[in-house]
Chain A
Amino acid sequence: DSGVTQTPKHLITATGQRVTLRCSPRSGDLSVYWYQQSLDQGLQFLIQYYNGEERAKGNILERFSAQQFPDLHSELNLSSLELGDSALYFCASSVADRGLTEAFFGQGTRLTVV
């Protein structure tokens, strides 16, 4: 158990819909990262937050947005869903954004868009 909690574990929704994925980082971790893993793309970095502020942005679509709340949990919002958005979405957390501490990953949310 990494200490990072992601909910829900599985999500099935229809095209065009909007969903919210939630991540609770390890206690004391200030930095949260979101990754998308689909069969043909591997693990793709989406976005990073540190103590409530956006720190780095990867290949995140405009239909996707994220935020980190004062209690440090984070949410990834996916809207106007397409079939190609079906993937595993992982959240990771680490103590600092610039320090080289290891990042711990949650078990992921499997999103299926039908």
Chain B
Amino acid sequence: DAKTTQPTSMDCAEGRAANLPCNHSTISGNEYVYWYRQIHSQGPQYIIHGLKNNETNEMASLIITEDRKSSTLILPHATLRDTAVYYCIVRGAPHGKLTFGQGTILTVHP
């Protein structure tokens, strides 16, 4: 699976959009981009995934660049409960396993 690069930490004001970037320059054509988050030692929580088109669900939006070498997770109106470690993962179809990196620690401030 391709490796990803994320900033170590980010801050965001409550109510504002949180934009979390991820670099995956070695991604191959059949690999998907997944985002998970982990809130203080709880089990990781699935957020969203995509291949090449932008995706949106009730939690977030995922913007993938045209060359697929990077992506951005957008939490449109961050709340204090969104404070967590966010993991960007590139996942290939034949394998199934998720390989977690160090993630981005997002802190949402009042």
10 contacts between A and B (CB under 8 A): A35-B100, A43-B100, A44-B100, A45-B97, A45-B98, A48-B96, A90-B43, A92-B44, A100-B49, A100-B93
A43–B44 contact, CB under 8 A? yes
* Residues in A neighbouring B94, C-beta threshold 8 A: 98
* Residues in A neighbouring B44, C-beta threshold 8 A: 43, 90, 92, 105
A56–B101 contact, CB under 8 A? no
Proximity string of chain A (79-106) to chain B, C-beta cutoff 8 Å, 1 when within and 0 when not:
0000000001010101011111011111
* Residues in A neighbouring B100, C-beta threshold 8 A: 35, 42-45
B96–A108 contact, CB under 8 A? no
Take A42-B102, A100-B32 as given contacts and tell me if A58 and B41 are in contact as well, using a CB distance cutoff of 8 Å.
no
Q: Does A51 lie at the interface of the complex (its beta carbon under 8 Å from any beta carbon of B)?
A: no
CA distance A103 to B45 in the complex (A): 9
For window 43-81 of B, CB contacts with A under 8 Å fall at 43-46, 49
CA distance A32 to B71 in the complex (A): 28
CA distance A105 to B96 in the complex (A): 14
Q: Does A2 lie at the interface of the complex (its beta carbon under 8 Å from any beta carbon of B)?
A: yes
Total A residues in contact with B, Cβ cutoff 8 Å: 30
CA distance A73 to B54 in the complex (A): 36
A→B interface (CB under 8 Å): 2, 4, 31, 33, 35, 42-45, 48, 50, 55-56, 58, 88, 90, 92, 94, 96-100, 102-108
**A97 in complex: contacting residue of B42, B45, B87, B96, CB < 8 Å:** B96
CA distance A100 to B75 in the complex (A): 23
Take A107-B42, A107-B43 as given contacts and tell me if A58 and B97 are in contact as well, using a CB distance cutoff of 8 Å.
yes
**Which interface residue of A2, A4, A99 has the most chain B CB atoms within 10 A?**
A2
**B46 in complex: contacting residue of A58, A99, A103, CB < 8 Å:** A103
CA distance A88 to B44 in the complex (A): 12
CA distance A4 to B42 in the complex (A): 13
A105–B95 contact, CB under 8 A? no
CA distance A42 to B4 in the complex (A): 15
CA distance A106 to B38 in the complex (A): 12
